[in-house]
Structure 1
């Protein structure tokens, strides 16, 4: 398996993984699927803002993708990013998500960020375990803040401190 920066040529595969999560899971709290053109624009937009979009590949096959972007739009959050990691449904549980998340953590450290945030549907025990195994700590639970498939969804918030820098001076 190789992890590399995504290109527009990966948009079809990324859309398929995204759409599967939309239609069959609570990993993405959207109801609407997207096409490859939408994901190509998303890749371009993320990368133009200086944020990574990574894909895990086995030859030409995209097995999963990951990215991070701003946590919130206010200046005070500029050193905090929120990430997402999605793996093809037929390939989950084989270490692809872990490899993508580890690559994102290293990229975030290299890019000078201080904290990485994860927002995970609280019943997604596998994702929470993965994050905790990489040093994330659950810092909050927001009951019933979302809905999908005719039920309320709780949001678990986890975070990883990426460095031990001194407090800001400004």
Structure 2
């Protein structure tokens, strides 16, 4: 079941996200996020008039996807950055696609014009997910992140809705 997130989901979202923080270069954070901070992030997304979805099965959160403002200047108000994270045990199960389908449909209904996604590289699964939804690579920044003792490239994908 795909539904809008709420503050009560923060701990379950942290359980998914923090595994990426601690074990991968998918997130550039290097310290775990606690539930109160995640609840604030969820609240900030909703306060910006944007959606945050979770995929739940038998009361367990399996993944989430959300949109956040691309930039703060007023002219950017119709452009958002999107992100999705799926429980590592359920990667490549279609949950990311289900979440993005809901998220992108919601963003279209809200009148958003552009969706943008930053992807640490290499990350073929994330690239495939974003390209499945018609996003195209528009930028590649070399060695802009440093984690686990190595430099990491970041690519950006975009789509006009």
Common fold by TM > 0.5: yes
| 1:33 alignment partner, SS class | coil
Distance 2:137 2:117 in 1: 9
Partner of 2:142: 143
Distance 2:68 2:33 in 1: 19
Aligned length: 161
Return 5+ residue gaps in structure 2 as ranges: none
- How far is the alpha carbon of 1:40 from its aligned partner? 1.3
Query: Considering only CA atoms, is the larger Rg found in Structure 1 or Structure 2?
Result: 1
Note if contact 2:48-2:69 (Cα within 8 Å) is conserved in structure 1. no
Q: Which consecutive segments of 4 or more residues in structure 1 shift more than 3 A?
A: none
User: Does residue 16 in structure 1 map to residue 15 in structure 2?
Assistant: yes
User: Does residue 77 in structure 1 map to residue 65 in structure 2?
Assistant: no
Structure 1 segment 130-169 matched on structure 2, within 5 A? 130-162=129-161
Partner of 2:120: 121
Structure 1 segment 78-117 matched on structure 2, within 5 A? 78-117=77-116
| 1:21 alignment partner, SS class | helix
Partner of 1:44: 43
- How far is the alpha carbon of 1:31 from its aligned partner? 0.4
TM-score between the two structures when normalised by the length of structure 2: 0.97
What CA RMSD, in Å, does the superposition of the two structures yield over aligned residues? 0.9
Return 5+ residue gaps in structure 1 as ranges: 163-170
